[in-house]
């Protein structure tokens, strides 16, 4: 068996980003379904860790099934799936500024909110929606962000993610968002805990050098950048400088691990 690259020698499990690593637009990335099958065959545990805040876990699992991935809803960890516990911990009653498709995974909208829970609402980021959220915040409400990624690559090219809209409300209401999704440290550690391994034994695999790779490394996990999805050539040097491993794809990474 070939010697594993040094950053992978102690890795026994994976957290795997979804968009840009497993699929792109309306099709699976070549070799990605086979990569998950190899992980199962070789008893390497994993969780799918995604910042997507437009799609509920059940719908995401259905989409992955259509693309040929054998995954269960319980193997997917999203900011919305952990948001309820965080809001309950803080005693926060939320106004929801999220995409309607995400509502099944979200806590209930409060009649008298004292916080805003915000995700990628897409075309629902209207002036009226932003202004309603602003009014909760300007009255002293806290802002919770499911994610603050700047952009992602959709089937029609690059698209704005939640981050620019979170920044707009932070600026307008003079507040700082509490981040729930990547690159929040607790989000990586919550998912890592499900695998029953120490964080340093679990690598985070993603196409976003900032949100996936650098965020994971800051949380104590090894980071792996793949050259698919939103990857751009300048990202490779940045990732390596920060101590990350770089692989051509998820399939290539799994082959290197085994």
Around Cβ 24, how many Cβ atoms within 10 Å? 19
Does the residue 58 lie in any domain? Answer: no
Reported as a single tens digit per residue, the pLDDT across 14-41 is: 999 999 999 998 899 999 999 999 999 9
Residue 249 has pLDDT above 60, yes or no: yes
Write down the pLDDT at residue 221.
96
Among the candidates 160, 179, 198, a domain finishes at: 179
Greater pLDDT, 230 or 258 = 230
Mean pLDDT of 43-72: 93
Among the candidates 147, 179, 211, a domain finishes at: 179
Strands in 94-97's sheet, in edge-to-edge order, are 94-97, 115-118, 142-145, 178-179
DSSP string, 219-231: TT--EEEESSTT-
Among the candidates 179, 194, 210, a domain finishes at: 179
Q: For the CA atoms of 49, 53, 55, 56, what is the dihedral angle to 10 degrees?
A: 70
Domain identity same for 104 and 152: yes
Write down the pLDDT at residue 1.
43
Residue 3 has pLDDT above 80, yes or no: no
- CA separation for the pair 57, 78 (Å, rounded): 7
Instruction: Give the domain CATH number at 234.
Output: 3.40.50.1000
Nearest to 127 by CA among 149, 150, 163, 97: 97
Mean pLDDT of 170-174: 98
Does the residue 141 lie in any domain? Answer: yes
Does the residue 18 lie in any domain? Answer: yes
- CA separation for the pair 52, 114 (Å, rounded): 24
Residue 5 has pLDDT above 80, yes or no: no
- CA separation for the pair 124, 130 (Å, rounded): 9
Q: Full-prediction pTM beyond 0.85?
A: no
Residue 171 has pLDDT above 90, yes or no: yes
Residue 47 has pLDDT above 60, yes or no: yes
224 band by pLDDT with thresholds 50, 70 and 90: very high
Look up the domain containing 145 and give its range. Answer: 81-179
Lowest mean pLDDT among 4-8, 101-105, 171-175: 4-8
Does the residue 92 lie in any domain? Answer: yes
């Amino acid at each position: 068996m070939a010697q594993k690259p040094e950053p992978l020698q102690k890795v026994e499990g994976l957290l795997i980003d979804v968009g840009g690593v497993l699929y792109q637009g309306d099709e699976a990335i070549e070799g990605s379904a086979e990569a998950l099958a190899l992980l199962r065959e070789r008893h390497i545990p994993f969780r799918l860790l995604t910042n997507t805040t437009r799609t509920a876990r059940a719908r995401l699992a259905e989409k992955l099934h259509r693309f040929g991935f054998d995954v269960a809803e319980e193997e997917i960890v999203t900011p919305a799936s952990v948001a309820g516990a965080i809001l309950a911990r803080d005693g926060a009653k939320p106004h929801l500024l999220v995409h309607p498709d995400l509502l099944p995974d979200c806590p209930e909208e409060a009649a008298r909110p004292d916080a805003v829970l915000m995700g990628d609402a897409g075309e629902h980021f209207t002036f009226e929606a932003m202004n309603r959220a602003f009014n909760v915040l300007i009255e002293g409400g806290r802002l919770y962000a499911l994610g603050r990624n700047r952009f992602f690559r959709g089937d029609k090219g690059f698209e704005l993610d939640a981050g620019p809209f979170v920044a707009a409300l932070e600026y307008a209401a003079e507040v700082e968002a509490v981040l729930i999704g990547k690159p929040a440290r607790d989000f990586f550690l919550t998912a890592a805990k499900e695998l029953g391994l120490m964080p340093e034994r679990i690598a985070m695999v993603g196409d976003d050098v900032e949100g996936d790779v650098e965020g994971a490394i800051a949380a104590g996990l090894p980071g792996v950048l793949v050259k698919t999805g939103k990857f751009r050539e300048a990202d490779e040097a940045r990732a390596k400088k920060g101590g990350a491993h770089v692989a051509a794809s998820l399939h290539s990474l799994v082959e290197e691990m085994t």
